[in-house]
């Protein structure tokens, strides 16, 4: 497979990453030992906030009253789309019952986690969409306790739009606490909260590390790195649209990779010509992020043909994958590794990020090779069960006894023996397990 890099990344998404493990571990250990008081101390230190931790119905109503009706309408529109898509996903999960052999029936059940902790980034911006994506899916899955946790602004608290959204989407409690201390509060069941069974939602490197450390003790959606996006484009693509989409994703952060893969060199060159001007036109903070991401992490790759383009994309396994090329069905059937796929110019990653219905909590750093994004399925446990008649148990017990003895597990074998001797006392069985 031949690739020509018109632009090559000088850094990777892990370059320059500080080791935050020790800091996060210390905070978690301190809060676990010190409980509510320790969490409040960290909230005062990092959030500069000493208001109510758990919001009351009156607090929620007051915040909702501050949200303009037009924004409420947009939030309701996005929530409805995400809810309906999540409900359709849930319908794909069915309880199963199968007679394995005559008299032996086995099955599976899908059972939701009881308590979900949804982390919603806050601070400078109101991450409304993250509230929609995390809380709505937990609600549709059937979680009984859903805690929405978000960093408060100093002296103000959580942004009113986040409070309104979390409540609309089904949060049973809203926790005004950010960072590692917020994650710890949900995990350890502080402030009278139920201990979380699963933690979901994006966050900064400290939140991501806290989830990594706590994984196993609680479930998590995924271990997330910097967001990344790849565009596959052929000669039919509009260079301005392609460039705009690349810049739109580069503004996420200084280390957010964006990649263009094409089989058309003139398109690639035109996109590279357009990008700097589009970045320069952004507001200051967005511009700084996009400049650094484009300078240090972006790549522009020219491939020989569309098969090479698809193979390159699968190797990169992007979080977001956009196709702006002819024959979209071919791409849909061919592509294998991505978090979420956007087919055609008429859709874009921002639609999925905010309002179209699919989830924006997605696998990064090539983890799309083995997992998908957040969905109702992440909150569901697939458990199995079985029952048998005595006749149905007979051949299974015989096989179990012999296999167990061959493996050297005599205790296992004797649980099968006991049933055979009880149920069929007049029969003789060869249960030796000898090879």
Residue ranges with strand state E in 80-176: 96-101, 104-112, 115-119, 145-150, 173-176
| 73-84 average pLDDT score | 98
Q: Which of 209, 251, 291, 319 is catalytic?
A: 319
Segment 315-352, tens digit of pLDDT:
999 999 999 999 999 999 999 999 999 999 999 999 99
* pLDDT grade for 124, boundaries at 50, 70 and 90: low
| Neighbour-count burial for 166-179, b at 16+ CB within 10 Å, e otherwise | bbbbbbbbbbbbbb
Q: Residues 146-170: pLDDT tens digits?
A: 999 999 998 889 999 999 999 999 9
**Same fold: 21-221 with 226-372:** yes
Q: What is the pLDDT of residue 315?
A: 98
- Residues 160, 168: Cα–Cα separation, whole Å: 12
Listed by start position, the domains of the chain span 21-221, 226-372, 389-435
pLDDT digits (tens, 9 = 90+) for 360-403: 999 999 999 999 999 999 999 999 999 999 999 999 999 999 99
Give mean pLDDT, residues 103-120.
97
What share of the chain has pLDDT > 90, as a percent?
91
Spell out the residues 6+ positions from residue 333 whose beta carbon is closer than 8 angstroms to its own.
none
Rounded Cα gap, residues 431 and 429, in angstroms:
6
* Annotation marks residue 320 as catalytic: yes
Q: Reply yes or no on whether 87 is catalytic.
A: no
**Is pLDDT of 207 > 90?**
yes
Q: What is the mean pLDDT of the chain?
A: 95
What is the structure's pLDDT at 15?
45
Q: Minimal CA–CA distance to 129: which of 186, 65, 79, 184?
A: 79
pLDDT of 355 higher than 50: yes
**Radius of gyration, alpha carbons of the chain:** 26
pLDDT at residue 50 above 90? no
Tell me what pLDDT residue 126 has: 78
User: In angstroms, how far is CA 257 from the centroid of its own chain?
Assistant: 18
**Which of 3.30.210.10, 1.10.1740.10, 3.40.50.1980, 3.40.1350.10 is the CATH number of 21-221?**
3.40.50.1980
Contacts of 216 (CB under 8 A, 6+ apart): none
Which pTM does this prediction carry?
0.93
CATH number listed for the domain at residues 226-372:
3.40.50.1980
CA atoms within 13 A on the CB side of 211: 23
Least confident of 33-47, 68-82, 111-125: 111-125
Looking at residue 13, its pLDDT comes to 61
Query: What per-residue confidence (pLDDT) applies to 16?
Result: 44
Question: Does residue 375 contact residue 359 with C-beta atoms inside 8 Å?
Answer: yes
Q: Report, as an integer, the average pLDDT of 38-55.
A: 93
Cβ burial, residue 422 (10 Å; 0-12/13-18/19+): exposed
CA-CA-CA-CA torsion sign (324, 280, 276, 320): negative
Q: What is the pLDDT of residue 435?
A: 63
């Amino acid at each position: 497979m031949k690739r020509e890099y018109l632009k090559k990344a000088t850094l990777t998404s892990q370059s320059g990453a500080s080791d935050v493990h020790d800091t996060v571990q210390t905070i978690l250990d301190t809060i676990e030992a010190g409980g509510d008081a320790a969490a409040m101390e960290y909230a005062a230190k990092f959030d500069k906030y000493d208001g109510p931790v758990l919001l009351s119905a009156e607090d929620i109503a007051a915040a909702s009253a501050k949200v303009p009706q037009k924004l409420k309408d947009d939030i309701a529109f996005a929530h409805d789309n995400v809810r309906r898509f999540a409900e359709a996903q849930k319908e794909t999960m069915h309880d199963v019952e199968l007679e394995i052999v005559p008299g032996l029936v086995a099955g599976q059940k899908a059972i939701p986690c009881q308590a979900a902790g949804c982390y919603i980034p806050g601070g400078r911006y109101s991450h409304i969409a993250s509230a929609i994506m995390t809380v709505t899916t937990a609600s549709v899955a059937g979680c009984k306790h859903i805690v929405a946790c978000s960093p408060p602004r100093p002296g103000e608290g959580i942004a009113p739009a986040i409070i309104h959204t979390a409540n609309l989407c089904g949060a049973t409690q809203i926790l005004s606490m950010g960072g590692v201390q917020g994650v710890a509060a949900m995990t350890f069941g502080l402030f009278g909260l139920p201990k979380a069974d699963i933690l979901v939602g994006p966050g900064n490197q400290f939140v991501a590390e806290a989830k990594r450390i706590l994984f196993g003790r609680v479930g998590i959606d995924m271990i997330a790195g910097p967001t990344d996006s790849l565009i596959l484009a052929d000669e039919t693509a509009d260079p301005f649209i392609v460039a705009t989409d690349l810049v739109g994703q580069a503004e996420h952060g200084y280390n957010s990779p964006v990649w263009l893969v094409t089989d058309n060199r003139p398109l690639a060159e035109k996109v590279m010509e357009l990008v700097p001007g589009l970045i320069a036109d952004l507001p200051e903070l967005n511009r700084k992020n996009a400049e650094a991401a484009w300078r240090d992490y972006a790549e522009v790759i020219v491939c020989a043909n569309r098969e090479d383009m698809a193979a390159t994309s699968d190797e990169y396994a992007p979080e977001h994958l956009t196709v702006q090329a002819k024959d979209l069905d071919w791409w849909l059937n061919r592509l294998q590794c991505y978090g979420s796929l956007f087919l055609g110019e008429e859709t874009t990653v921002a639609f999925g990020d905010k309002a179209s219905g699919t989830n924006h909590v997605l696998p990064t750093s090539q983890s799309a090779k083995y997992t998908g994004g957040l969905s109702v399925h992440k909150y569901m446990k697939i458990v199995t069960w079985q029952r048998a008649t005595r006749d149905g148990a007979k051949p299974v017990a015989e096989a179990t006894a012999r296999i167990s003895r061959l493996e050297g597990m005599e205790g296992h074998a004797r649980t099968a023996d006991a049933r055979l001797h009880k149920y069929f006392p007049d029969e003789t069985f060869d249960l030796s397990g000898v090879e």
